[in-house]
Amino acid sequence: MKFKKIAFWLSTGLLTALMCFSVFNYFFNHEAIRGFFEAMGYPTYLIYPLAIAKLLGLVAIWGNFSKWLKEWAYAGFFFNTLLAFFAHYMISDGSQWGAGMALVFVLISYFTGKQVRP
């Protein structure tokens, strides 16, 4: 059980760090992120709502307010990181590994969290 707790807190902490780094870049390095979104063919008006959604998802996971809300937050992070991985993979920019790591952190945090947290 101790291993699962360590895995949960470590993966959740690393996921939080990656998402906070992403949100920071979305808000304060907007022009570079706009270029990435345009290169991948995504609309740039998604940048700010996606940053806010990531922050709210982190609040839902760390706050542990309701199971329903936490499930939706993990679902959002799962699809976000999965789609980010394939978007970076398809344009071959070499950044898919960061999204792949985030996907692994989401999965580890989700499955160990079900056993560690009520």
Q: How far apart are CA 104 and CA 108, in angstroms?
A: 6
Half-sphere exposure of 62 (CA within 13 A, CB side): 15
Maximum Cα–Cα distance across the chain? 45
Spatial CA neighbour of 103 closest among 22, 11, 3, 4: 11
pTM (two decimals): 0.90
**Domain limits, the chain:** 2-116
pLDDT band at 108 (very low <50, low <70, confident <90, very high): very high
Q: State phi, psi for 94 to the nearest 5 degrees.
A: 85, 0
Q: Tens digits of per-residue pLDDT, 72-107?
A: 999 999 999 999 999 988 888 877 888 999 999 999
User: What is the crossing angle of helices 30-40 and 47-63, to 10°?
Assistant: 100
